[in-house]
Amino acid sequence: MLYKRKVIFTVCFFMMFFLASGHVFATSQNNHGFTYRTINNDQAIQITGFTNSTTTLTIPSSIEGKPVVSIGNNAFQNNDLESVIVPDSVTSIGDRAFEGNSIHSVQLSNQLKTIGWSAFRNNQIQDISFPDTLESIDYAAFAGNQLTTLVLPDSLDTIGSGAFSRNQLYQVTLPNQLSSIGN
């Protein structure tokens, strides 16, 4: 009886492993140089990278009729990007998504809610406008840039530790209802 349970457990484990891993690989795709995967029950797109070489990046608002709602972790990390336009369909930018580029110009989505850990860390951003929908800026999101002034929207609820460290800030306007700010 114990042997039978072990066999059944082993078979179930491997079936779950292969089914789960097959789903991940089946959803990784490429469209005009953008690598992506479907999310939200196959109803939306998360950009996971870019295979072409460019300094100016305009992320599409949709791919194959599905809205691009997210930029994944590490998607454009350590490339030679100088300028980025994020479409209004995007609501989240993942951890280290644009870290380690030479970005000096960035246009964020008007629907953006979250900016992940180190998302724009170590670039050359001097000026940025945040949308009125932004709720969270995570740890070191804009650390190591060249920002001098900041106007943060009233929608912002959380700022992570070091979010704007190693900049040249001399003027910062904080939102009235900010509930959490890191060290």
∠ CA 71-74-80, rounded to 5°: 95
Confidence of residue 146 (pLDDT cuts 50, 70, 90): very high
Q: What is the pLDDT of residues 19-54, one digit of tens each?
A: 444 334 334 566 678 999 999 999 999 999 998 889
In the chain the domains, ranked by start, together with CATH numbers, are: 2-181 (3.80.10.10)
**17: pLDDT strictly greater than 70:** no
Confidence of residue 8 (pLDDT cuts 50, 70, 90): low
**67: pLDDT strictly greater than 90:** yes
Q: What is the mean pLDDT of residues 95-108?
A: 98
- Whole-prediction pTM: 0.83
**131: pLDDT strictly greater than 90:** yes
Please give the residue that has the higher pLDDT: either 99 or 176: 99
Q: What is the mean pLDDT of residues 76-94?
A: 97
For residue 52, what pLDDT is reported? 86
The mean pLDDT value of the chain amounts to: 88
Rounded CA separation 176/170 (Å): 19
For residue 183, what pLDDT is reported? 78
**Token pair in block for residue 126:** 């001097």
